[in-house]
């Protein structure tokens, strides 16, 4: 294991009006490791990812990638930095107006100026890697099932062979079998690339499958972190409640009782 | 009962208005900066030219022909009150090229195109496609906004030129087929009375209106939130704001272009 920090968050705060979402996140993702951040809905997982990608700007704190501070970066520097990243969005976020192959090779065509013919070949190869036949490349995203869209999203995330891949709820909305297929693909493709990954999910089966390390976020802070193998003996009451999925425990949902 | 301080309401509204204006001004500045600087996307610009220009031809053509026809009828009826029916060709050509061509065509395109742009970009926003663009190292302003702005600025003058021709033809048809005008005399009168500046002023206006139409669609789409309802709201706002800005810009530009002793408000 490498102990070099690929991504390092220190004291990151983010609010929306009076609602404080991140209240001082400290988190490190080591190079070549797969970290999964778990946490309930509204705990700040997605906001944390968006802050790292520069889609949102935190009010306080530091976010470093390869030791380089990213907060306050210029737009061209940010664009260059993002060539290191791939991302699988929760709803796949495929471009409706483009055929599947062009979605997969979008980054190669736009930012790496690859010729369309070559980009199509690369796209078909990447579709094959996620278990999709070449003819899917000619379809439009609206013609695909949810599972196929996720696989196309994964193909797009790995197409440019990024150093870091983010997975935002990779199995949400999928049946258990398709969810496991996606998890398997993530593990295989990440292993091929040797990429560093940061995933967010509340699907414990997915977390167990794809993580080297797991961290739990609660009310905008990391409250536990450790190896994936030790989550059942975390010694943290909130972590134990989340892993076991019980309504009773220190984490209370705002639900009106009848 | 809670009593609302009227000054607080005025203050909040004023601050809200200023914030919205500043926000829009910031968006316009960023959009223009990215539109003028490379890289450019010729494929996307061409695609938008087709969508904004070519596919708007039927609606603009139909609107123009009926507007020209009604204008001829109204001038004939009005002119008859002081024995000036013969001014129909002159006023039709002036009215169409200077005002009705650019304004009516732009309002029709605003309804069609601003709404479509806002809906498309708004859907991209709420389904995270714009975030996906950013993560793929593609600037959404360059990829989504710039081609639409350029296409709007280029397509509208062409559409308005066509609307001018069709509008004048609408007036001609009504005048010669229904009002007893001689065809050759009508055409000669229209041609003699019209000046190049009449047409050009309409085309300048059309470029600005094209910019407004594309900009309002992009702005509202970019800032839509809250799922399908938010996209619907963005679409409505885009059409309403584009229409209002077109009418306001039309007044300002008319004051500037034809500033012959007329002081703008």
pLDDT at A177 over 80: yes
Domain extent, residue A202, equals 1-73+198-247
Phi, then psi, of A57 in degrees rounded to 5: -110, 120
Cβ atoms B222, B124 nearer than 8 A? no
- DSSP states of B164-187: HHHHHHHHHHHHHHHS---HHHHH
Please tell me the distance from the alpha carbon of residue A93 to that of residue A68, in angstroms, as a whole number: 28
A68-72 contacts, C-beta under 8 A, 24 or more apart: none
Query: Cβ of A111 and B136 within 8 Å?
Result: yes
- Per-residue pLDDT of A148-164, as tens digits, reads 999 999 999 999 999 99
**Mean pLDDT (whole number) for A221-225:** 92
**CA A205 to chain centroid:** 16
CATH code for the domain of A241: 3.40.50.300
Q: Which among A151, A166, A181 has a CA at the least distance from the CA of A35?
A: A166
Take residue B43 and report the two structure tokens written for it.
Answer: 């494929």
Query: Cβ of B138 and A86 within 8 Å?
Result: no
**CA A165 to chain centroid:** 6
Q: Which of B120, B127, B137 sits opposite A83 (nearest CB)?
A: B137
A89: closest CA of chain B, how far (Å): 8
Q: Is residue A222 situated within a structural domain? A: yes
Cβ atoms A40, A251 nearer than 8 A? yes
User: Bridge partners of A88?
Assistant: A167
The total number of structural domains that make up chain B: 1
Q: Is residue A21 situated within a structural domain? A: yes
Q: Is residue B30 situated within a structural domain? A: no
Q: Give me the pLDDT at residue A53, please.
A: 94
pLDDT at B1 over 70: no
Chain B positions in Cβ-Cβ contact with residue A55 (cut-off 8 Å): 131, 134-135
Phi, then psi, of A34 in degrees rounded to 5: -115, 110
Chain B positions in Cβ-Cβ contact with residue A152 (cut-off 8 Å): none
User: Strand runs (DSSP E) across A17-127, as ranges?
Assistant: 19-30, 34-38, 60-65, 68-69, 85-88
| DSSP category for residue B195 | -
Q: Is residue B3 situated within a structural domain? A: no
Query: Cβ of A89 and B128 within 8 Å?
Result: yes
Query: Cβ of B136 and A107 within 8 Å?
Result: yes
- Per-residue pLDDT of A224-246, as tens digits, reads 999 999 888 888 888 888 888 88
Instruction: Kindly report which listed range (A60-69, A172-181, A195-204) carries the lowest average pLDDT score.
Output: A172-181
Q: Which of B120, B129, B139 sits opposite A93 (nearest CB)?
A: B129
Hey, is the C-beta of B116 within 8 angstroms of any chain A C-beta?
Answer: no
The ipTM of this complex is 0.88
The total number of structural domains that make up chain A: 1
Cβ contacts of residue A127 below 8 Å, gap of 6+? A100, A101, A104, A133, A134, A136, A137, A151, A152, A155
Hey, is the C-beta of A3 within 8 angstroms of any chain B C-beta?
Answer: no
State the residue for tokens 């910031």: B26
pLDDT at A2 over 50: no
pTM confidence score: 0.87
Residue A7: CA atoms inside 13 Å, Cβ hemisphere, count? Answer: 29
Query: Cβ of A106 and B137 within 8 Å?
Result: no
- Per-residue pLDDT of A118-127, as tens digits, reads 999 999 999 9
Cβ atoms A196, A33 nearer than 8 A? yes
Hey, is the C-beta of A162 within 8 angstroms of any chain B C-beta?
Answer: no
Q: Is residue A85 situated within a structural domain? A: no
**Mean pLDDT (whole number) for A88-111:** 93
Q: Is residue A128 situated within a structural domain? A: no
Helices B6-36 and B146-178: crossing angle in degrees, nearest 10, is 100
Query: Cβ of B132 and A110 within 8 Å?
Result: no
Q: Give me the pLDDT at residue A231, please.
A: 87
**CA B220 to chain centroid:** 16
How many Cβ pairs closer than 8 A exist between chain A and B? Answer: 55
Sign (positive or negative) of CA dihedral B215, B220, B223, B224: negative
Chain A positions in Cβ-Cβ contact with residue B139 (cut-off 8 Å): 75, 79
| DSSP category for residue B25 | H
B136: closest CA of chain A, how far (Å): 5
B31: closest CA of chain A, how far (Å): 14
Report strand pairing: A196-201 vs A164-168. parallel
Q: Is residue B24 situated within a structural domain? A: no
Cβ atoms A7, A65 nearer than 8 A? yes
**Mean pLDDT (whole number) for B192-219:** 94
Q: Is residue A14 situated within a structural domain? A: yes
pLDDT at A257 over 70: no
State the residue for tokens 């520069």: A54
Cβ atoms A189, A162 nearer than 8 A? no
Q: Is residue B1 situated within a structural domain? A: no
Q: Is residue B93 situated within a structural domain? A: yes
Q: Which among A9, A60, A38, A22 has a CA at the least distance from the CA of A219?
A: A22
Q: Is residue A233 situated within a structural domain? A: yes
Which chain A residue is nearest to residue B128, measuring alpha carbons? A93
Q: Which of A82, A86, A91 sits opposite B128 (nearest CB)?
A: A91
Hey, is the C-beta of A111 within 8 angstroms of any chain B C-beta?
Answer: yes
Query: Cβ of B131 and A83 within 8 Å?
Result: no
Hey, is the C-beta of A110 within 8 angstroms of any chain B C-beta?
Answer: yes
Q: Is residue B5 situated within a structural domain? A: no
Q: Give me the pLDDT at residue A237, please.
A: 86
Chain A positions in Cβ-Cβ contact with residue B135 (cut-off 8 Å): 53, 55, 82, 85-87
Q: Is residue B9 situated within a structural domain? A: no
Hey, is the C-beta of B132 within 8 angstroms of any chain A C-beta?
Answer: yes
Measured between alpha carbons, how far is residue A221 from residues A11, A87, A212, A215, A248 in Å? 9, 23, 20, 10, 21
B77: closest CA of chain A, how far (Å): 51
Helix (H, G, I), strand (E, B) or coil at A140: coil
- Per-residue pLDDT of B43-54, as tens digits, reads 999 999 999 999
Helix runs in B81-182, H state only? 88-95, 101-109, 115-126, 129-135, 140, 146-178
Cβ contacts of residue B135 below 8 Å, gap of 6+? A53, A55, A82, A85, A86, A87
Domain extent, residue B155, equals 40-257
Q: Which of B128, B132, B138 sits opposite A111 (nearest CB)?
A: B138
Hey, is the C-beta of B123 within 8 angstroms of any chain A C-beta?
Answer: yes
Query: Cβ of B137 and A79 within 8 Å?
Result: yes
- Per-residue pLDDT of B222-241, as tens digits, reads 999 888 899 999 999 999 99
Q: Which residues of A183-219 are buried (b: 16+ CB within 10 A; e: fewer)?
A: bebbeebbeebebbbbbbbbbbebbbbbbebbbbbbb
Q: Is residue A96 situated within a structural domain? A: no
Which chain A residue is nearest to residue B40, measuring alpha carbons? A110
Q: Give me the pLDDT at residue B227, please.
A: 85
Sign (positive or negative) of CA dihedral A186, A192, A194, A195: negative
Q: Is residue B2 situated within a structural domain? A: no
- Per-residue pLDDT of B66-125, as tens digits, reads 999 999 999 999 988 888 888 899 999 999 999 999 999 999 999 999 999 999 999 999
State the residue for tokens 């600005």: B208
Sign (positive or negative) of CA dihedral B184, B189, B194, B195: positive
Chain B positions in Cβ-Cβ contact with residue A89 (cut-off 8 Å): 128, 131-132
Chain B positions in Cβ-Cβ contact with residue A156 (cut-off 8 Å): 136
């Amino acid at each position: 294991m490498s102990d070099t920090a690929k991504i390092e968050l220190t004291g990151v705060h983010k609010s929306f009006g009076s609602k404080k979402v991140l209240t001082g996140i400290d988190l490190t993702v080591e190079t070549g490791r797969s970290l999964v951040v778990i946490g309930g809905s509204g705990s700040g997982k997605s906001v944390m990812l968006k802050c790292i990608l520069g889609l949102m700007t935190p009010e306080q704190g530091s976010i470093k990638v390869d030791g380089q501070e990213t907060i306050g970066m210029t737009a061209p520097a940010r664009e260059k930095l993002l060539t290191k990243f791939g991302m699988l969005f929760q709803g796949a976020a495929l471009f409706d107006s483009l055929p599947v192959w062009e979605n997969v090779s979008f980054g190669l065509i736009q930012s790496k100026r690859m010729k369309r013919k070559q980009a199509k070949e690369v796209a078909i190869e990447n579709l094959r890697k996620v278990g999709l036949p070449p003819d899917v490349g000619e379809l439009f995203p609206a013609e695909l099932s949810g599972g196929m869209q996720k696989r196309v999203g994964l193909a797009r995330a790995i197409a440019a062979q990024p150093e870091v891949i983010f997975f935002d709820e990779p199995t949400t909305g999928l049946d258990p079998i398709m969810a496991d297929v996606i998890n398997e693909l993530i593990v295989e493709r990440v292993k091929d690339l040797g990429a560093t990954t940061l995933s967010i999910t509340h699907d414990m089966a997915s977390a167990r499958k794809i993580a080297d390390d797991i961290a739990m976020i609660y009310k905008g802070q990391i409250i536990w972190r450790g190896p994936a193998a030790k989550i059942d003996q975390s010694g943290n009451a909130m972590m134990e409640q989340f892993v076991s999925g019980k309504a009773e425990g220190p984490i209370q949902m705002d639900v009106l009782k009848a | 009962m809670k009593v609302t301080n009227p000054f607080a309401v005025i203050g909040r509204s004023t601050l809200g208005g200023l914030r919205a204006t500043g926000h829009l001004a910031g968006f316009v500045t960023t959009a223009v900066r990215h539109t003028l600087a490379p890289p450019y996307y010729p494929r996307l610009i061409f695609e938008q030219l087709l969508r904004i220009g070519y596919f708007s031809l039927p609606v603009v053509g139909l609107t123009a022909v009926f507007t020209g026809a009604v204008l001829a009828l109204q001038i004939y009826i009005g002119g008859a009150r002081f024995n000036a029916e013969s001014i129909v060709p002159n006023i039709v050509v002036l009215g169409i090229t200077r005002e009705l061509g650019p304004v009516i065509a732009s309002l029709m395109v605003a309804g069609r195109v601003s709404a479509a742009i806002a809906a498309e970009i708004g859907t991209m926003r709420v389904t995270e496609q714009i975030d996906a663009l950013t993560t793929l190292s593609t600037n959404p302003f360059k990829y989504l906004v710039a081609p639409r702005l350029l296409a709007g600025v280029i397509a509208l003058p062409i559409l308005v030129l066509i609307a001018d021709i069709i509008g004048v033809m609408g007036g001609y048809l009504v005048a010669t087929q229904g009002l007893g005008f001689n065809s050759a005399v009508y055409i000669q009168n229209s041609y003699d009375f019209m000046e190049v500046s009449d047409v050009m002023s309409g085309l300048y206006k059309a470029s600005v209106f094209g910019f407004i139409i594309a900009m309002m669609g992009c702005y509202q789409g970019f800032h839509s939130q809250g799922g399908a309802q938010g996209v619907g709201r963005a679409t409505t706002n885009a059409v309403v704001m584009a229409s209002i800005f077109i009418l306001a810009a039309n007044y300002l530009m008319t004051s500037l272009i034809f500033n012959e002793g007329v002081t703008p408000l």
